[in-house]
Chain A
Amino acid sequence: MGKTLFEKIWDQHVVKQIEGGPSVVYIDKHFIHEVTSPQAFSGIEKRGAKLFRPQQVVATADHNVPTLHQELPIKDALSKFQVDTLIDNCKKHGVELYGLGHQYQGIVHVIGPELGITQPGMTIVCGDSHTSTHGAFGSIAFGIGTSEVEMVFASQCIMQTKPKVMRINIDGALKNGVVSKDIILYIIAQISASGATGYFVEYAGSAIRALSMEARMTICNMSIEMGARGGMIAPDQTTFDYIKGRLFAPKGADWDAKLAVWKQLYTDADATFDLEINIKAEDIDPMITYGTNPGMGLSVRGTLPTTESFKDATEKQNYEKALQYMGLKAGQSLLGMPVQHVFIGSCTNSRIEDFRLVASIIKGKQKDPSIKTLVVPGSQEVAKQIKAEGLDKIFADAGVEIRQAGCSACLGMNEDKIPAGEYCVSTSNRNFEGRQGAGARTLLASPLTAAAALLTGKITDIRDIL
């Protein structure tokens, strides 16, 4: 019987299968950042061990950095100490660091692909749940905890129980105004925030094939938001074209050899999945979330569920709790609701293509005066590209400032936060209570829908603008 894409890569990386336990899986690339690595470095030191393969580790500072004046020392003492600790640890243990001020610095899931570090067939981990982003290249990539970061430091391996495999097929053509962020928000709304727990997901179908690498990354990025261990897409010509010529991409004869191997990375026709889901691309509208987990999403033209539609008492109670936090009413529509903030950024939507999309909408227009913005490129490279393409002019003319690379308002850890009680249309990936700051109300949406809110000051169907 044939193998799935996941099984092909997994099988190539199993060093050992422990009786009645997990597999020991070899890790090709390990990304680290300032927040989830310090305790792993000190753990390794306490054991008197060394990093086993420091050349396979790449570090950046992204979560806890300011997005203005990065040339100045970080003001918050704890944040500064955390970033400095990363610098010390990388120096001491021989790890390559693209830290603040480095031309390759940026959100870890943006820089890996853009530098050509992320490649098909690899196993990739990082102490961050959105590591699933790298699966867009046909790799097995997933987030790990700090003990596991220490595990990979010590042995370049990780203990993992083999997950089940699920395939989600999205076929057909997307409607006008619908982009990859809408696809993934739609899928999560369909199967819920825990619907893929225990699974590794492969996204397939003609609608996925038609997407650019940036758009594929947005989809794989949010796999974790339905509980999946990770998400992946089989590599194809789009993938190879994206990688070719990037800084760490294979060159010359090495490229030819790698390419031949990568072309074998697909799910065999007779392979089977534990679960398969089929979705029609034309069923998907521009999406927006209304609640406090990414599964609570609907078409921008839809209405919130009624309380009566929840049969289970705990579910109903949870729905009411979410509505109360969000300041919304069951059965209402979101269309036309005023919002105060727009955040364009995060590892979900801060790549050059996202900025091109937004620029195409706001070009020659002015932002609504009531809207405060946080517009944050995913990396220094993206920022450079924005300038090279003149997009910075379009944003400036619209009254929108572009900040410096980092996670920014995605997680309410650094200086960029949304005040309590205020609404933010956000291109990031989580709308949990307090995620963007204590009391902040997050509405997840695509860069297009965010651009529409930017211009109108309200929740708007982008198709009314296009």
Chain B
Amino acid sequence: MQSLQKLTSRFVPLRIENVDTDQIIPARFLKATTKIGFGKNLFRDWRYENDDETKPKADFVLNQPQYGGEILVAAKNFGCGSSREHAAWSIQDYGFKVVVSSFFADIFKNNALNNGVLPVTVSDAFLQEIFAVGADDTLTVDLEAQTITINTTGSSEKFEINSYKKTCLLNGYDDIDYLLNMKAEIEAFEQSKK
């Protein structure tokens, strides 16, 4: 897993609530048996007319050239619905390293963290502040300090992340490395339940 420390980038504003994982990556793209290449189908049905890559929908943010960067900012309850990790893979494969929202669905949050994508939960008010700034403005996400800052206005907010997950992300470790080192303890636990 890639590590993530501090990121300053422009952002893509997705002003839609309850974005479910069926929208992030429709089921017909789940037939792959590897983790690569999902980025081109991210938000597929919102991005293209009749599933046709030559017909991008002009009103969808990913198709608007003024927006870009490695941070996706979405309205509340992002990532609800299916547990498909393909949603996190497609966001990462597209090039996003951070997703900001005022509310994340549980499974998506875990899936993102397990793939080195940082979900940053901000207050509703701060989310509106981000949506209010222009397409050229940047955000800085500092994982060590647990802060997110709107660089043009200087407005900043602290975000929560548990210290274990933070260490993993800062160093690029994952949970499986940790668990593989716990084999003896797990076996002892099994014995104690027999």
> A residues touching B (Cβ–Cβ < 8 Å)?
12, 15-16, 18-22, 24, 26, 35-36, 38-39, 42-43, 47, 49, 52, 63-64, 76, 78-79, 81-82, 85, 127-129, 143-148, 150-151, 154-157, 159, 161, 163, 193-194, 197-198, 224, 227, 229, 293, 314-315, 317-318, 321, 411-413, 430, 432-435, 438
Contact = CB atoms under 8 A, between A and B. Distances in A.
A338 B190 CA distance: 57
Contact of B30 (A317, A318, A413, A432): A413
Contact of A430 (B16, B22, B83, B175): B22
A63 B175 CA distance: 28
Contacts of A293: 18, 20, 80
Given A24-B182, A39-B33, A155-B180, A198 B75 contact: no
Nearest to A147: B114
16 contacts: A12-B193, A19-B164, A26-B193, A35-B84, A39-B33, A43-B176, A147-B85, A156-B186, A157-B182, A193-B77, A194-B80, A229-B106, A318-B17, A411-B22, A411-B27, A430-B81
Contacts of A26: 186, 189-190, 193
B88 A145 contact: yes
B78 to A, nearest CB: 10
Interface of B: 15-18, 20, 22-23, 26-28, 30-35, 45, 51, 75-77, 80-86, 88, 103, 105-107, 110-111, 114-115, 162-165, 174-176, 178-180, 182-183, 185-186, 189-190, 193
Nearest to A64: B31
Contacts of A432: 20, 22-23, 81
Nearest to B108: A145
A195 B32 CA distance: 33
A109 to B, nearest CB: 13
B18 A145 contact: no
A86 to B, nearest CB: 9
Given A15-B189, A35-B30, A147-B114, 5 more contacts: A26-B193, A36-B83, A147-B111, A155-B182, A293-B18
A434 B82 CA distance: 13
A434 B25 CA distance: 10
B163 A21 contact: yes
A42 B182 CA distance: 21
Nearest to B15: A314
A410 to B, nearest CB: 9
B118 to A, nearest CB: 15
A434 B80 contact: no
A90 to B, nearest CB: 14
B115 A147 contact: yes
3 closest cross-chain pairs (CB), A and B: A21-B164, A20-B163, A147-B114
Contacts of A42: 33-34
A464 to B, nearest CB: 33
A77 to B, nearest CB: 9
B180 A20 contact: no
A228 to B, nearest CB: 8
Contacts of B84: 35-36, 145
A438 B182 contact: no
Contacts of B34: 38-39, 42
Given A155-B180, A433-B45, A434-B22, A18 B27 contact: no
Contact of A15 (B45, B111, B162, B186): B186
A291 to B, nearest CB: 10
Contacts of A229: 106
A311 to B, nearest CB: 13
Nearest to B16: A318
Contacts of A148: 110-111, 114
